[in-house]
A = this chain, B = another copy of it.
Amino acid sequence: MSTGNDKSLFQADSLRSFCEGIFISCGMVPEDASIVADGLVQSNLRGVDSHGVMRVGIYAKRLKMGLVNPRPEVKIVRESAATLLVDGDNGMGQVVGVRALELGLDKVKQSGGVYVGVRRSNHYGAGAHYVKRAVEQDVVAFAYSNAPPTMAPWGGVDPYVGTNPYAFGVPAGGYPPIILDMATSIVARGKIILAAERGESIPEGWAIDKHGNQTTDAQEALQGSVLPFGGPKGYALSLMIDIMAGALTGAGFGPRVNSLYDNFEEPQNVGAFFQLIDISQFANPAAFKANIDRMIEEIKSSRRAPGTEEIFLPGEIEYRTEEQRLASGIPVEATTVAELREVGRTCGVDIADFVSQA
């Protein structure tokens, strides 16, 4: 069961079942518990462990404290030929997100294109999860979600926007789809938290301290603000997402999006925004996907810079990790396993029943 460096191995199905058990014990119906569990395990499979089962503890805590509604009535509050505004009823972000996306995917086959706004939701996990569902139906998709403030306006000091993630997906023909899923910060805040815990310094350019000066001290960075990717341009994209997912939908924006980890008084009021486009309204889907294949081949076979062993498309590394982890299991850090064990204990689900014996 140990992988030699303090990690335990789980098969994806087992880990999913464990998470489902936790969320059902928190009051969710099995179908919804399965949506959340699937979102988390999908992230672990893709190697994006920051959005995987390490979130189970905080999700369960908020559910039990009544800060998240375990049985939301997700409903359309406004609809036009090409738009949907969805109220998440303060449900789990993945449940609200998947429901809203499915409503959009149903509609896009009639309208050709849909814009879906989501208000009163929570942390929705990895944006890749949503755009992957869309591309399976020959729909090009953009997924945005806002997040509690951790980045200062460009030139500022105090956090105002979140590390608001940007996701985009497009299907290929013979290759895996192109799946872009990126934070608008230069680095996940989790990496700074990890460095602080280990007493390590962080690279220049990652963060500023509370006075607005660049810092390599992880502790000071956590008191300050993480920096956007690409300077003012990444910041502007984060602001765009806060406007689309937050201000436009009626969710929180700026400091009105509450922290997942630090605010135990109020719901998060996170928002999301999806843009869905039916490929067949612009091109023959097979011909389009053949062109994407051609693009992929041209890029993959392109001349490499010194030090580059292989050129990757967005999402390609994650796809390979998924293949590998589906085959040989998902390694989970000992600290996360310990947390899962404790959460399981309070929920009457024994993690020992789910860990791989391989």
A275 within 8 A of B: yes
B282 near A248 with CB under 8 A, answer yes
A295 near B253 with CB under 8 A, answer yes
A232 CA to B229 CA in the complex, in Å?
10
Judge whether A303 is part of the interface by a CB distance below 8 angstroms: yes
| B80:A111 contact, CB within 8 angstroms | yes
Question: Contacts A110-B81, A282-B248 hold; do A157 and B291 have CB atoms under 8 A apart?
Answer: no
C-alpha spacing A49/B304, complex, angstroms:
34
Q: B304, A157: Cβ atoms under 8 Å?
A: yes
Whether B182 pairs with A282 at a CB distance below 8 angstroms is no
Q: Which of A20-28, A206-214, A320-328 contacts B (4 or more CB under 8 A)?
A: A206-214
At the interface, yes or no: A114 with Cβ under 8 Å from chain B? Answer: yes
Shortest CB-to-CB span from A186 to chain B, Å, is: 8
**In the complex, what's the smallest C-beta–C-beta distance from A226 to chain B, in angstroms?**
14
Q: Is A358's beta carbon under 8 Å from chain B?
A: no
| Complex Cα gap A111–B110 (Å) | 12
Number of copies: 2
A249 an interface residue at 8 Å Cβ cutoff? Answer: yes
The answer to whether the Cβ of A286 comes within 8 Å of any Cβ in the partner chain is: no
Question: Are B155 and A250 in contact (CB-based, < 8 A)?
Answer: no
For A82, A157, A236, which residue has the most chain B Cβ atoms within 10 angstroms?
A82
Q: Does A230 contact B (CB under 8 A)?
A: yes
Looking at chain A's contact residues, the main secondary structure is mixed
With an 8 A cutoff between CB atoms, is A152 at the interface?
yes
Contacts of A96 in B (CB 8 A): none
Question: Quick one: closest B residue to A119, CB to CB?
Answer: B282
Q: Which of B83, B153, B255, B311 contacts A282 (CB 8 A)?
A: B83
A312 contact from B155, B157, B180, B292, Cβ within 8 A: B155
User: Nearest CB to that of A249 among chain B residues?
Assistant: B282
Contact with B along A291-305 (1 / 0, CB 8 A): 110010011001111
User: Could you pull out 26 A-B pairs where Cβ atoms are within 8 angstroms?
Assistant: A80-B112, A80-B281, A81-B81, A82-B113, A82-B114, A113-B113, A113-B115, A153-B299, A155-B308, A155-B311, A156-B305, A157-B305, A170-B240, A178-B239, A180-B240, A208-B305, A229-B230, A230-B231, A230-B233, A242-B295, A243-B292, A248-B283, A249-B282, A254-B295, A254-B298, A275-B275
- Closest 5 pairs between A and B when the two form their complex, measured CB to CB: A230-B230, A80-B112, A212-B305, A82-B82, A82-B113
